[in-house]
Amino acid sequence: MAANILLVEDEPAIQELITANLARAGHTVVRAADAETAQRFVRDALPDLILLDWMLPGISGVELARRLRNEERTRSIPIIMLTARSDEADKVAGLDVGADDYITKPFSPRELVARIKAVLRRRSPQATDDAVEVGGLRLDPSTHRVSAGETPVSLGPTEFRLLHFLMTHPERVHSRAQLLDQVWGDHVFVEERTVDVHIRRLRSALEPSLHDALIQTVRGSGYRLSATASA
């Protein structure tokens, strides 16, 4: 699945090279030449992943990573550091502030795309094309199909995204606010009860195959997807 990637890099030539290769891999890239611009982009909408150069004018990439990790809203955004620094101490420093991976320049575009895929699979599985199956229900993002055994399940686009997120984060309880941020986007302002409406639609679509029981309401907390018996 295409990811929305924020590239924070002040070298125009490197910006162009990375953007071209990521676009070829199906990703959408937003570019920022400094940390201040990157912070404005993040305030508007959370990216699926940030590629962050260490050496930036003004605030360094390491300091920006530290700030992002210290804020609850941005804490879970996957970050890959890009830098010419290859010393072990520098790598440790980058990882210590919360980077998920560390790539030293020069690097091959294929390596970068592979590293991005690996980090997204680990940190944001809903942003990948990997098919997922829970309790006999299968969802394939690449074909946009859902099936219960051999029977196809018809879902609207919002219900599909909602189910995809829940299936890639099984057993975890998500509040309505968290689901709005992850499925609708934190820059979209809709009421929390909108989540309830789409949960009802999702359960209705899954009811004929009896998979509606996978979607559990956790009273006072939100919703979770679980293959265990509903309590």
CATH of the domain at 172: 1.10.10.10
Same domain membership, residue 149 and residue 114: no
Q: What is the pLDDT along the chain (231 residues), one digit of tens a residue?
A: 578 899 999 999 999 999 999 999 989 999 999 999 999 999 888 888 999 998 899 999 999 999 999 988 888 889 999 888 767 676 677 677 888 888 888 889 889 999 998 888 777 666 677 899 999 999 998 899 999 988 999 999 999 999 999 998 888 899 988 888 878 876 656 788 889 999 999 999 999 999 999 999 999 899 999 987 543
Residue 36 lies in a domain: yes
Residues 6+ apart with CB under 8 A from 83: 53, 54, 55, 61, 90, 94, 102, 103, 104, 105
Q: Which of 107, 127, 147 is the last residue of a domain?
A: 127
pLDDT of residue 231: 39
* Residue 198, pLDDT score: 94
pTM of the model: 0.62
Hey, is 184 helix, strand or coil?
Answer: helix
| Residues 151 and 210 reside in one and the same domain | yes
Write out the H or E segment, with its range, that includes residue 29: strand 28-32
Please tell me the predicted confidence (pLDDT) of residue 19.
95
Query: pLDDT value at position 188?
Result: 59
| Among 109, 127, 145, residue at a domain's last position | 127
Q: Is residue 231 part of a domain?
A: no
Place of tokens 């879970």: 76
- Number of structural domains (the chain) is 2
Q: Does 203 lie in the same domain as 166?
A: yes
Domain with residue 34: its CATH number is: 3.40.50.2300
**Are residues 100 and 32 part of one domain?**
yes
Paired residues of 102 in beta bridges: 81
> Do 84 and 161 share a domain, yes or no?
no
